[in-house]
Every structure is written in C-alpha cells, then in structure tokens.
Amino acid sequence: MNKYFLAVCILALQGKLLAQNADSVWFVNNYTKIERLIPMRDGIKLFTSIYLPKDQREKHPVLMTRTPYSCAPYGEDKMLPVWKAYLMAYARENFIFVLQDVRGRYMSEGEFMDVRPFNKNKKNKTDIDEASDSYDAIDWLVKNIPNNNQRVGVFGTSYPGFYSTEASLSGHPALKAVSPQAPVTDWFIGDDFHHKGAFFAMDGFSFYPTFGKPHPTPTMNYGTGFSTPIKDNYQFYLQTGALKNLAALAGDSIKFWHEMYEHPDYDAWWQARDARRGLYNVQPAMLWVGGLFDAEDCWGAWNAYKACEKQSPQTNSKIVMGPWYHGQWSREGSYLGNIRFGSNTSKWYQENIEVPFFIHHLKGKGSIDNIAEANIFFTGENNWKTFDQWPAKNVEYKKLFVHPDGSLAFSNNVAGSKTPGSKQAAYSEYTSDPAHPVPYTEDVHDDRTREYMTDDQRFASRRPDVLTFQTALLNEDLTLAGPVMADLLTSISTTDADFVVKLIDVFPDDFVYKDSVLGNGKGYPMGGYQLLVRGEIMRGKYRNSFEKPEPFLPGKISRVLYELPDVAHTFKKGHRLMIQVQSSWFPLADRNPQEFLNIYKAGDKDFKKSIIRIYHDAINQTNFVLPVLK
C-alpha cells in the first residue's frame, strides 16, 4: 500500500469519525426511544423498538423494518447507532424509526416459521402470515404513535427484504412505499439455500445452526452455532462427506434443516415458499434493490421485480441494481474485491434514489422524476443506465456458439466439425471427480467470501476438469443487459451431474487501473484478469422439471437448458468474452454423487466419477444466448 493512499485513508477515516460523533450527539439529543409489545390479531405480541423525533412542528412518517435478526439494542436507554449509516438522512427529516422482531424471534412471542407462506384466503383471526402481521403492526403504529402523519414505509435487506415483500401484500391503506432489498424470494430456485436445485451447503451450514436454534420463549441472545474444527472450508466439507453427515453435525433440533432434507425436489412445500406467488394487486409504490454481485440473493431482486411487473402491472414498481455484494448499497461502493467501479456507487444510490423515494412518498416532498423504471449500473464501462422496462426493449438475444477449436463466435458455421456421413460427433470432454471437486475460489478460507463473485478465474482455467471457451479479441464494445441462457448439449457416463456455467470478462494482458480510481489497495495484478461476471449451477436431473427429476441415460446426448441471473456488463474493446463449463463448484454447492438418487440420503460410497462431454458439431451445437444491448 503506497504512502499517499494510506494518508488519504487515514484523513478520510478521521473526518468520518468526527462527523459520526457530531451526528451521534445530534441523534441522542433529538430522538426518544420507546419499546412496546404490539398485539397481533391472534393475541401474539411482537416486540417493537420505536425511535421518536422530539420535533413537534409537524407530523412525521414511519419507516419500519421487520426482522428475524433482532431489533437490538434492547432497553429504552440504548440507541441504535443510526449515525453510523446513511439512515441519518432520514433522521434529519424527522422520520419515526420502527424495528420489530418478527413472530417467534428474539423478544417476540409466537412460533417462528421460515419464509412463512403468504395466505391469500385468510378467513379468521387464527389465519395469519407475515402480511397480516405487517398489517396489524402498521395499524397499531398509526393509531398509537403520537404525532405520526399516517404514512408508513417498510424496507429491509435479505431476510428483512422478504418481510418487506410480504408487508407490501398487507393491503393497509397507510402503507405508501416499500423497498425490498436483496429480498429472499425462492430458496430452491435461486436464493441462499439452493440454486437451480443444487444445495448451497456451505452457506446454509454456516448460517442455520445458529439461526435455526429453537427458542420457545423470548430471548435477547441466540448464542453461537457450530464451530468447524478445520478452518479450511474446502477441506472441512470434503472431509465431512455426504449431506447426511452434515445433518448429523447440525443435530436434531434444527427443524428447518431437516425439513429441507425431507423435500429434495421442488414440491408444493417449496412452491408455497416462493414469495412471488403473492405479488398480485400490490398497493404501495415499490423500489426493488439488489446487487449484481450479491452472493446470497441476486436472483431474488431481479425475479421478484419481474413477477411484480407481470402479475401486478398497475403497481408503481421500480428496480435498482448496482455493482454490489449483499447489502453493499449501505456501505462503501467504489470497489468489490479487485474490481473498481470508478465512483462511490452506494452513496449515489442513497442520495439520488432511495432517500428521495421515501421522502417523496412519505412526506410529499421533493421529486422522484429522475428515478427511472430500471436504474442499472453497468460494470465494465462503469456507468449507470436507465430504462423504461427491464429487460430493455433494445436488446437482441444472440446465440454465441462453441466451436471445436475452443473458440466462441456468433457464427454457427461449424462445417468440418463432423465429417459427412460419419456418426462421430465433435465434443470437448472432462472427468468430474467428486473426490477432487473444482473449488469456487483459489485461496483457502474458513468462511465463504463475498468477493468470489468478482474473483479472477485463472485458477479454474488451469484445471483439466474445467472447459474454457473464449472469443477473439473484441473489436468493439459488447454490452449485455438481461438474463443469459446456457444451452448445453451434453452426455455423461453416469445418471446425474451438475453443470456450472461461468460468464467471464478477460482483461488485456497490459491492463492496469489508474491510481486515482479507488480500490482495495492490495495491488493485485490485473493484466489478463478473468473477471467472473456471472456464474450459475444447474442440477442436471432437474433439466426438464424441478418437480420431477429425471435420470440421464449414460452416453446419450441430452439438452441442459437453463437461465443465469441477469447481467449488466460491458465487455470493452480489446477484451475477450470467456465461458467456462464445469461440474462442481465446491464447497459453494454440495457435491453431486453423479448417480440418480436422493442426494440428501446418499452415503459416502455413492459418489462416482463421470465423464462429461459438451458437444459442438453441426447437429448438436452447444450455445449461450446473450442479451446484447443495441
């Protein structure tokens, strides 16, 4: 780290600490905290912390977050450190802040249920869901909190993003604006616990032995979870072996963990927990927010917005996607890992989109004319773009074909790849060995990193069990705006396998960032960097249906067609577009035994090698459908 960079960081930190000290004094002097148990329609009481402005000159709006992660600090003499975040912008506008422990969590009564299904046919007081709890909380607040203006907003990130989505379905007339941010949306298809049916065991196991502990009575402390004895997550999960061994480590008390194991396919139990199913007749204005490099809930932000647009077209619904990890829009947003964005994108979002959104809808002040339908940051070129719909109207879906020489091109001219009259097809081949799965990142880690979403993929390019295809040097910019489809023509030597497709931007060999562009200060060599723009896994047995898995016939060519979450990226002139294909992504996703069976009940002896072939001949043309912005 150079001395100039270090000096700038020290000065910036000193200035930030001085500002926070002044803000903390102001907040403590201008706000009062009260705590209440708010009754729900079935008699259960939910613990709620309420921060009230002392200003009496006007009535104030309510901004609420409902959370399973605790509304600590508890005690009316203990303040949430609002001054450490951009929430101070709302405090300066005298917003009433409300934090609530959801049903069955921390200091609230009742029974907790993960991603509790929305019930659109509630008939009596015992028919409750998160939408009805939101309604009852809002109703109590506007009737009992002094000096409120009868206008309520709800927002939250991740699991609180899910509760924000559910609040939008409450139908309460005082609820005017909602912002689900990185909202948990579907834990089987694309968020947190599963991606396209593949179990994200590392994320789940690091989270759930603490989060999933039973607490039949209210408590302020959930304690600690399972501590892995090996601080190398690749080695720990490989040594632990089959998923049933992981379940044994989790113990018998973690209810949801074992419920997942009892529902290996996308059955009615999972489908009821898809938050998109309730997104009809949504009343409040909606601001969906997510990160292009969100390792937890990137899929949910894109797809909840799309469902709202399709199922509730009359709703005032907008989306913002920035170049962020999970929740980075509330933190420094100039870089992620080794990749730099050229500006503090988080600060821009806070000042130009989120804060104006809530001030306008809850106070009737200011303009939101500059908030478009879709406000998307495009990495590569590092610019915000706005659209009146997403995906954009001016997108052309173009097929990028795999050629026998390992190249990628928009031309499908593969003449010569199969001799006329010959039965021999052209393919690229690798052996997927569950005993030596492809790591998701190069380095040794204990916890899953958030930076892997932008990691250099050169380590994977060097493995024999990873196929690498790339274009020639681009002679002009190529901008992608929307979902990418992987259309794999494949055969395997066993009856099941996973497929991981990674979309990669290959930087020029002489690429360097300018010193003036803020980064992480680590000086990583960027020449030839292989930037992971988007990666996604597909459990092969679900290629035709997530509800009804099907085995592969060994040696028979099959199509595996699946969608990667949306991208917003410009491959600059002089770069290359690369695609990697592999069959493990460990320990990010669990290992597939590569035999058609219930993976949650598989034993250590069920794991087998599989020979994977990706075809690229005149008949079986593996390709990738790219959303090219014209």
- Domains, the chain, with CATH or none: 15-188+271-333+342-378 (3.40.50.1820), 395-629 (2.60.120.260)
Please name every residue paired with 395 in a beta bridge, in sequence order, or none if there are none: 629
Rounded mean pLDDT of 104-118?
97
Output the pLDDT for position 418. 46
CA dihedral 540, 546, 548, 552 (to 10 degrees): -10
Whether residue 247 has pLDDT greater than 70: yes
Report if pTM > 0.85.
yes
Q: CA-CA distances (angstroms) from residue 519 to 52, 344, 509, 516? A: 39, 11, 19, 9
Q: Tell me how far the alpha carbon of residue 170 is from its chain's centroid.
A: 24
Task: Please say whether the beta carbons of 204 and 212 come within 8 A.
Answer: no
Encoded amino acid at 407, one letter: S
Task: Please say whether the beta carbons of 136 and 40 come within 8 A.
Answer: yes
* pLDDT tens-digit series, residues 254-269: 999 999 999 999 999 9
Output the pLDDT for position 186. 98
Q: Rounded to the nearest 5°, which phi and psi values hold at 421?
A: 85, -10
Q: Rounded to the nearest 5°, which phi and psi values hold at 420?
A: -50, 130
CA atoms within 13 A on the CB side of 443: 10
Output the pLDDT for position 412. 82
DSSP assigned state of 552: P
Quote the CA–CA distance of 487 and 589 in Å, as a whole number: 21
Query: In terms of C-beta density within 10 A (0-12 exposed, 13-18 middle, 19 or more buried), how is residue 161 classed?
Result: buried
Q: Which long-range contacts (CB under 8 A, 24 or more apart) does 601-608 make?
A: 601/244, 601/261, 602/242, 602/243, 602/244, 603/242, 603/244, 604/241, 604/242, 604/245, 606/242, 607/242, 607/434, 607/435, 608/434, 608/494
Task: Please say whether the beta carbons of 296 and 326 come within 8 A.
Answer: yes
Whether residue 281 has pLDDT greater than 70: yes
Rounded mean pLDDT of 490-497?
98
* pLDDT tens-digit series, residues 132-169: 999 999 999 999 999 999 999 999 999 999 999 999 99
Output the pLDDT for position 563. 98
CA atoms within 13 A on the CB side of 313: 2
Q: CA-CA distances (angstroms) from residue 279 to 170, 178, 196, 303? A: 11, 13, 22, 11
* pLDDT tens-digit series, residues 46-95: 999 999 999 999 999 999 999 999 999 999 999 999 999 999 999 999 99
Q: Which long-range contacts (CB under 8 A, 24 or more apart) does 78-84 make?
A: 78/33, 79/27, 79/28, 79/31, 79/33, 79/51, 80/49, 80/51, 81/24, 82/23, 82/27, 82/51, 83/20, 83/23, 83/24, 83/26, 83/27, 84/20
Q: CA-CA distances (angstroms) from residue 437 to 101, 242, 466, 578? A: 40, 13, 10, 21
* pLDDT tens-digit series, residues 469-486: 999 999 999 999 999 999
Question: Mean pLDDT of all residues in the chain?
Answer: 94
Output the pLDDT for position 9. 52
Quote the CA–CA distance of 458 and 455 in Å, as a whole number: 9
Share of the chain above pLDDT 90, in %: 91
Task: Please say whether the beta carbons of 383 and 377 come within 8 A.
Answer: yes
* pLDDT tens-digit series, residues 509-553: 999 999 999 999 999 999 999 999 999 999 999 999 999 999 999
Here the tokens at position 396 are 């052309």
Quote the CA–CA distance of 327 and 284 in Å, as a whole number: 23
Output the pLDDT for position 383. 98
